[in-house]
Amino acid sequence: MSFSVVVFLEHFSHLENRSARNEMTVDSQSFGKHSYIKRDPVTQMWYNSILEIIGNTPMLRLTRVAPGIKPILLAKMENLNPGGSIKDRIGLTMIEDAERRGLIKPGGTIIEGTSGNTGMGLALAAAMKGYKCIFTMPDKMSQEKIDLLRAFGAEVIVTPTAVEPDDPRSYHSVAHRLNEEIPNSYFPNQYDNPSNPQAHYETTGPEVWEQTEGKITHFVCGIGTGGTIVGAAKYLKEKNPSIKVIGVDPEGSIYADYFKTRKLPESHPYKVEGIGQDSMPKIMDFTNIDEVIAVSDKDSFLVTRQLARKEGVFAGGSAGTATYAALKIANDLTENDIIVVIIPDHGSRYLSKLYNDTWMKDNQYLEPKLKLSAGDITHGKRGKRVLISVGTEATLMQAIKLMQENDISQLPVIENGQVVGSLTENRVLSTLVSNPTLREHKVKEFLDKPFPVVNEKISIENLYKMLDKESPAVIVKHEDSSLDIISKSDLIYAITENSTESTER
């Protein structure tokens, strides 16, 4: 039997067993409210709508991100929904509830403020039901999310992030205004819409309970609008009040502090997308939440990258936030505990951010491979040379001789202790080719812009960017106010020497 056939049969067997398990124990009346639950993998070999595939996501045991932990850690793979996130569940639910209540009619327009994932869930359902979509998004969201929404025919309006929630420019305010202006439009408003937590009470919670056969002891979930944790926690606590529900919040958001003090703190910017808030949504309810853990952007992104590289789980940054918290609580648990952590969305939305090494380094989330500063490079330069420079009153010929004698290709031009310009061999060559007699003219007639001046603590990676794009050299100002210069050849020498030393060690 071929490998592909074996895999297919094993996968089909898994679906059959899962379906049978669900049929025996899950309340079918509750699950029949929304179209994405109406499926039978045993007898149905295909689906008639993409909406039927939403939900019933698998669980994966995580063993490699923390091989020494005692409890079982299960990832609920919401990134495998057809729209790539857990928000597919509420997108369909909110639209179908609006249809039943007569809030939107055929040919209408759906308008929502979203970080991207809810928009995708709404766009998916709207595409199948014939609605137009307009989404407002904060400008901190990745370009991939914007492009995904536009791929489904949605109009995307990008709004500023650094404004108050009630500012008319905020993404929530803009969506509200458009809803008032456009006839036959519907504003789901996931932050205030009770259909949001209801979707998770009817689907996510029951799935978690059934997939763990009721043995779950800890439920870990990022808090964004609050819909997932409020709805799933309510269901799970009804089944077993002893289950611990842990909310996860990015540092800078309001939830963790509010949970401890019951006072709304001032929010601060953070980079993790899709979770956290700067104001309290109406649907948020802490009744069934036992703890809220704050996690830094750096820890979130590093764990997210580990999920991809060690577990093969390609997810967004909020998955790392929740997994970091799950690993933290796992240290105090036993072999009898089962932790379920929500993996909210797919990593394809973040290729230009947390999966991009340059972006990670620019935001100080990744350590450079070579921990060298400008000061390290100047102190280790061959021959420990002093800074060779020329004054504005020197002749071009004098400058040329300085370059030849010291085997250098550029000179800083210094006047009264200040760097006022530069002279490079390219500039000298073009000048002499056009008129050789200009060699007796003064340097000040041929100045290029000064080399950038940096302090000695700047990293080698930032130096490289400046040399590569802006200038053939930079001036380093030390703490004692002395000056030195770093050229591309100095950088090459420093990297080679330090790489050799690392290899030898």
Per-residue pLDDT reduced to its tens digit, 126-141: 999 999 999 999 888 8
Q: Is residue 32 part of a domain?
A: no
Q: Crossing angle, helix 117-129 and helix 143-151, to 10 degrees?
A: 10
What are the pLDDT digits (tens) for 59-108? 999 999 988 999 999 999 999 999 999 999 999 999 999 999 999 999 99
Map tokens 């958001």 to a residue: 253
Residues classed as catalytic: 87
Q: Convert the pLDDT of each residue in 315-350 to its tens digit.
A: 999 999 999 999 999 999 999 999 999 999 999 999
The predicted pLDDT at position 270 comes to 95
Residue 201's pLDDT is 98
User: Is 493 among the domain residues?
Assistant: yes
The answer on 468 and 334 residing in a single domain is no
- Tell me if 272 is assigned to some domain: yes
Instruction: Using the 3D structure, point to which of 303, 329, 362 is the last residue of a domain.
Output: 362
Two tokens at 296?
A: 């830094």
pLDDT at 125 over 70: yes
CATH of the domain at 452: 3.10.580.10
Neighbouring CB atoms inside 10 A of 266's CB total 8
Nearest Cα residue to 231 out of 22, 113, 110, 55: 55
d(CA 280, CA 264): 8
- Residues 393 and 460 grouped into a single domain: yes
| Residue 137 in domain | yes
Looking at the structure, tell me whether residues 112 and 227 fall in a common domain: no
Instruction: Determine the Cα angle at 157 with ends 154 and 160, to 5°.
Output: 150
What pLDDT does 36 receive? 47
Please say if the pLDDT value at position 309 is more than 90.
Answer: yes
**The Cα angle at residue 312 between residues 311 and 316, in degrees rounded to 5:** 100
| Residue 159 placed within a domain | yes
In the block, which residue shows the tokens 């205004």? 177
pLDDT averaged over every residue in the chain: 87
Of 132, 162, 186, the residue at which a domain comes to its end is 186
Provide the pLDDT for residue 179: 95
Distance CA 135, CA 115 (A): 9
* pLDDT exceeds cutoff 50 at 11: no
Give the per-residue pLDDT at 469. 57
- E-strand stretches of 32-71: 59-61
Structural domain total, the chain: 3
Per-residue pLDDT for 311 more than 90?
Answer: yes
Kindly report whether the global pTM for this prediction surpasses the value 0.85: no
End-to-end CA distance of the chain: 51
Evaluate whether residue 202 is within a structural domain: yes
Domain identity same for 316 and 238? yes
Whole-number percent of the chain with pLDDT over 70: 88
Q: Are residues 210 and 341 in the same domain?
A: yes
CA 384 to chain CA mean position, Å? 44
Could you tell me which of 111, 156, 123, 103 has the C-alpha nearest to residue 50? 123
CA dist., res. 392 & res. 325, Å (int): 61
Given a cut of 50, is residue 7 above it in pLDDT? no
- Gap between the Cα atoms of 223 and 278, Å rounded: 12
Do 239 and 312 lie in one domain? The reply is: yes
Choice between 236 and 144, residue whose per-residue pLDDT is larger? 236
**Are residues 426 and 493 both part of a single domain?**
yes
Same domain (yes/no): 220, 344: yes
Q: How would you label 329-352 residue by residue, b for 16+ Cβ within 10 Å and e otherwise? A: bbeebeeebbbbbbbbbbbbbbee
* 408-463 pLDDT tens trace: 888 999 888 888 998 888 888 888 898 988 989 998 988 888 888 898 888 887 88
- Collapsing DSSP to helix, strand or coil, 81 comes out as coil
99 in any annotated domain: yes
310 and 331 share one domain? yes
- In a shared domain, residues 396 and 428: yes
Residue 96 structural domain: 87-186
67 and 178 assigned to the same domain: no
**Final residue of a domain: which of 125, 155, 186?**
186
Are 74 and 118 members of one domain?
Answer: no
- What are the distances in angstroms from CA 1 to CA 9, 15, 45, 143? 11, 21, 21, 44
Within-domain flag for 4 = no
- In terms of DSSP H, where are the helices of 389-434? 396-406, 425-434
CATH of the domain at 305: 3.40.50.1100
